[in-house]
């Protein structure tokens, strides 16, 4: 009997051990919703993971295009020192920005050489090649690109459009209103006029040399006329639409015995500058112009926009639109006025000006004076 009771006790102990072990295993393998303690551990972890994913998505949003290559079509209006300098700096800055952002910019570049038909074909090619954005260098190209993208809404960034509102490219400088924005080389005409009379207070007759078909010149020439009329100064207008016509216009200005010649940021005259500067210098007539590239090509003085910087800022806008998602319609047009007078020292000597004296006379009317010598392009 005693042995029988001992056996029963052993059996009961074994059963209790089995039950306890089974309960422990069940607790260890129970579903997550079987107890509050388990819920407190797993649900916050799930929420945190979701939050981490969302935060990652939001943080990465500007870089969701990492590794992507954007196609950028650049059309230059004409081959000259000013516009070529812009294109070069756009390309260089896009390469720098691409490396920084981890994206690529495939540049499709062409030059229409002031031919409207060629320009239209270049733009059509960009569209056919699925350009993500187009860059129009100078007013005629910007206008053509705006028209060609009204339906497809390909973003357009222009460069060196002197008066974007007047030519109808944008509705306003602050809110362009369309699929287009860019950089303007708007010229402070009064500043250039002040330099003319700072160097020669006795000037009686000023020549205005420009291409009447260039939108870039329209406002500046009107402002120059108003300034001269206000001072009671006589002016003579001479125009040309190509190099030969500009050369003839310069010969006429020499015959007119003008005391100085003013040209705004006019691409036609810029293209002809290398072929006219010696004629003016030999006649002792200083040529005052709206960009430092004119001085590089022989003009006595260039004032206004730094085209290298303008090119850089144009590229920055391209990157903002393609990579950072900025909308052209609300992206203000960028303007520049560096107040720099660039003097060609060789031409200064040829027309009989003393560099130190004329530089001192210019100081009240500009923030900086730079010098250079004649060359075909910037290095």
What is the arithmetic mean of pLDDT over 335-349? 91
pLDDT of residue 339: 82
List, in order, residues 6 or more apart from 184 with CB less than 8 Å away: 160, 161, 162, 163, 164, 173, 333, 334, 335, 336
What is the arithmetic mean of pLDDT over 267-291? 97
pLDDT of residue 22: 42
Provide the CATH number for the domain formed by 189-304+339-372 in this structure: 3.40.50.2300
What is the arithmetic mean of pLDDT over 79-84? 92
Bridge partners of 182?
158
pLDDT tens digits, residue range 3-41? 444 444 443 444 344 433 443 343 333 333 333 332 222
CA–CA dist 293, 113 (Å, integer): 18
Q: Answer whether 297's CB lies under 8 Å from 347's CB.
A: no
Locate the domains of the chain by residue range. Answer: 70-185+309-335, 189-304+339-372
Distances from the Cα of 180 to the Cα of 78, 85, 154, 157, 169, angstroms: 21, 22, 9, 6, 8
Q: Answer whether 70's CB lies under 8 Å from 102's CB.
A: no
pLDDT of residue 55: 33
Band (202; pLDDT cuts 50, 70, 90): very high
pLDDT tens digits, residue range 280-335? 999 999 999 999 999 999 999 999 888 899 999 999 999 999 999 999 999 999 99
pLDDT of residue 68: 94
Q: Can you name the CATH fold of 70-185+309-335?
A: Rossmann fold (3.40.50)
What residue has token string 């081959």? 79
pTM above 0.85, yes or no: no
pLDDT tens digits, residue range 38-75? 222 223 333 434 433 433 333 334 445 678 999 999 99
What is the arithmetic mean of pLDDT over 106-122? 97
**189-304+339-372 and 70-185+309-335 share a CATH fold:** yes
């Amino acid at each position: 009997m005693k042995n029988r009771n001992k056996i029963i006790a052993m059996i009961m102990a074994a059963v209790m051990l089995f039950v306890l072990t089974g309960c422990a295993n069940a607790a260890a393998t129970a579903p997550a919703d079987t107890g509050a303690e388990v819920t407190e551990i797993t649900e916050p972890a799930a929420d945190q993971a979701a939050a981490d994913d969302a935060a990652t998505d939001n943080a990465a949003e500007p870089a969701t295009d990492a590794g992507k290559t954007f196609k950028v079509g650049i059309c230059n209006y004409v081959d000259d020192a000013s516009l070529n300098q812009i294109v070069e700096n756009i390309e260089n800055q896009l390469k720098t920005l691409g490396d920084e952002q981890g994206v690529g910019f495939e540049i499709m570049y062409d030059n229409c050489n002031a031919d409207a038909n060629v320009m239209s074909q270049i733009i059509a090619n960009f569209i056919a090649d699925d350009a993500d954005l187009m860059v129009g260098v100078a007013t005629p190209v910007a206008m053509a690109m705006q028209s060609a993208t009204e339906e497809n809404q390909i973003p357009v960034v222009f460069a060196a459009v002197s008066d974007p509102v007047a030519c109808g490219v944008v509705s306003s400088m602050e809110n362009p209103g369309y699929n287009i924005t860019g950089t303007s080389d708007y010229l402070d005409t009064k500043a250039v006029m002040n330099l003319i009379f700072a160097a020669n207070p006795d000037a009686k007759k000023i020549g205005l040399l420009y291409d009447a078909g260039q939108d870039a010149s329209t406002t500046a020439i009107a402002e120059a006329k108003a300034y001269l009329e206000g001072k009671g100064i006589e002016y003579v207008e001479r125009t040309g639409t190509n190099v030969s016509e500009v050369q003839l216009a310069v010969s006429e200005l020499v015959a007119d015995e003008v005391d100085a010649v003013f040209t705004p940021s006019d691409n036609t005259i810029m293209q002809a500058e290398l072929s006219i500067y010696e004629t003016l210098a030999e006649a002792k007539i200083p040529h005052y112009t709206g960009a430092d590239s004119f001085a590089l090509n022989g003009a006595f003085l260039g004032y206004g926009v730094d085209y290298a910087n303008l090119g850089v800022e144009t590229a920055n806008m391209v990157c903002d639109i393609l990579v950072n998602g900025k909308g052209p319609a609300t992206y203000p047009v960028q303007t520049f006025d560096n107040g720099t007078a660039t003097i060609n020292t060789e031409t200064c000597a040829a027309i009989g000006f003393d560099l130190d004296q004329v530089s001192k006379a210019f100081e009240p009317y500009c923030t900086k004076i730079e010098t250079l010598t004649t060359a075909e392009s910037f290095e």
